[in-house]
Structure 1
Amino acid sequence: MRILLIEDDPVTAAYVANGLREEGHVVDHLADGREGLALAMEDRHDILVVDRMLPGLDGLSLVRALRAARILTPALFLTAVGGIDDRIEGLKAGGDDYLVKPFAFGELSARIEAIARRPRAVTEETVLRAADLEMDLVRRRVTRAGVEIDLLPREFALLEHLLRRKGRVQTRTMLLESVWDIRFDPGTNVVETHISRLRAKVDRPFGRELIQTVRGAGYRLDG
């Protein structure tokens, strides 16, 4: 396998790179997060091994940027930041596994092999559609009936969430967690306000409502 190791500690990097090379892997090593992101964006590696605390760009932001760009190369976080919340944060950022320092090389090797055995994720759609509504995720462009719609970033994220779950009811709690990353009730009408703004742009000018209110449950995008 071709492995990209992004680790700024020279002792750890040499230990890991030498061990992986002895096992027959090709290892590219970088110590800077921004340089690591640029190389990972080329999508030429089978697995990424990423430290969380990196100069230039931290590991979490690096993996998030890759996932946002639809680069699905499996990533294993190798880090001294080992609390339960830290591990959860790493996995939610798009990591496939999380190993805390100090570690045994044998465990690292086994985890890499386990990741390699998993089926590679299918590249996600880059264009989402419902009826005559279309969202181009790469160009960050939304149109309906061929007319371009100007959305603010949070409105775009909300519409993307609804499009990805077309035909399924999304509760207020689901929307708060996925769109606002809020895991408690803030006691505001932020969801309702954004739904109203989204309808004003996406539905009302076109004579057919795609965003439906399901009384007592939440919202659903039809089409």
Structure 2
Amino acid sequence: MRYLIGETNWKMVTLSKAVADSGLLRTSCEAGEELADFHRMGQHDLLVLEASQLGRHVSLADLRAQRPDVPICLIASAPAPERIAHWLMAGADAVIEDTAALPEALARLSAVARRAHGVAHPLVERGPLLLDLERRRAHLGEVTLSLSPKLYEILEFLVLRPGRLAARDALLGHVYGFENEPAPRVFDVYMCNLRAHLQSVGPALKIETVRGAGYRLEVNERRKDARPLAA
């Protein structure tokens, strides 16, 4: 998954680094006045910002209107219960105190992000595929797939949207953020390699290319035993 994080003070920078160290993708925004633009243009699963930025550069109403499908987590310093209730009613999905230990904060962020995709816990099953969101691993039966970070991110993006069309631009934006995207042929090679890893289960799990539009993960719930991909 990818988080958009407003790195507007040292505590937010520390949290952002912990997110990156955990293996998650992140898009960092150091200027509060640019956060709304980053949110509008980016492809991320969660927005994390300091509560003190509200009213100065952004508003929950505007952020929610821009991307109603993206959950919002606020990091706040000793917030009063009334203030927390106000933020939640105004559009925030969670409020985390900035004194929370990093493991707790990361777990809370992860829970909010995955539940926005309708996933209750870190283990996601799609037909013969088991995806471990916490350990960032994919399993086909007894076989653990040897995926590069890029291949894992592509697979995770599709797994969290089963049967839905994933636009090519959205997928590229998610995997690369605002970095330079690869040449089209390079991304085609990634997709080819990912399909090769999944071919052992045949029609039980396949990535369909919708010409001119994007990709779709098709799942046949009838399970088959997976065979390791030959080296």
TM normalised by structure 2 equals 0.53
Distance (whole Å) between structure 2 residues aligned to residue 136 and residue 100 of structure 1: 34
Root-mean-square deviation over aligned CA pairs: 4.0
Distance (whole Å) between structure 1 residues aligned to residue 184 and residue 125 of structure 2: 30
Give the conservation status (yes or no) of the 8 Å contact 2:158–2:217: yes
Aligned to 2:13: 58
Give the conservation status (yes or no) of the 8 Å contact 1:135–1:143: yes
Kindly indicate whether structure 1 or structure 2 has the higher relative contact order, using CA contacts under 8 Å at least 6 residues apart.
Answer: 2
Aligned to 1:207: 202
Counterpart selection for 1:146 from 125, 142, 145: 142
CA deviation after TM superposition for structure 1 residue 163, in Å? 0.2
- Give the aligned residue type for 2:175: V
Query: CA offsets per residue over residues 136-157 of structure 1, 9 Å max, x none?
Result: 1123221113222111111111
Which residues of 2 match residues 2-81 of structure 1 at below 5 A?
Answer: 52-54=8-10, 58-59=13-14, 61=16, 64=19, 81=31
Aligned to 1:219: 215
Give the conservation status (yes or no) of the 8 Å contact 1:126–1:138: yes
Counterpart selection for 1:132 from 128, 131, 137: 128
Give the conservation status (yes or no) of the 8 Å contact 1:171–1:218: yes
Give the conservation status (yes or no) of the 8 Å contact 2:122–2:133: yes
Secondary structure in structure 2 of the residue aligned to 1:207:
helix
Distance (whole Å) between structure 2 residues aligned to residue 132 and residue 126 of structure 1: 16
Name the count of aligned residue pairs: 158
Q: Percent identity?
A: 26
Secondary structure in structure 2 of the residue aligned to 1:139:
coil
Distance (whole Å) between structure 2 residues aligned to residue 168 and residue 218 of structure 1: 10
Give the conservation status (yes or no) of the 8 Å contact 1:133–1:143: yes
Aligned to 1:176: 172
Distance (whole Å) between structure 2 residues aligned to residue 186 and residue 152 of structure 1: 16
Secondary structure in structure 1 of the residue aligned to 2:184:
coil
Secondary structure in structure 1 of the residue aligned to 2:164:
coil
Secondary structure in structure 1 of the residue aligned to 2:156:
helix
Q: 1:115 to 1:96 in 2, by over 3 A?
A: farther
Aligned to 1:82: 32
CA deviation after TM superposition for structure 1 residue 188, in Å? 3.0
CA deviation after TM superposition for structure 1 residue 170, in Å? 1.1
Aligned to 1:95: 48
Distance (whole Å) between structure 2 residues aligned to residue 161 and residue 54 of structure 1: 30
Distance (whole Å) between structure 2 residues aligned to residue 182 and residue 215 of structure 1: 24
- Give the aligned residue type for 2:215: Y
- Give the aligned residue type for 2:87: I
Secondary structure in structure 2 of the residue aligned to 1:165:
coil
TM normalised by structure 1 equals 0.54
Distance (whole Å) between structure 2 residues aligned to residue 220 and residue 101 of structure 1: 37
- Give the aligned residue type for 1:95: V
Q: Which has the larger radius of gyration?
A: 1
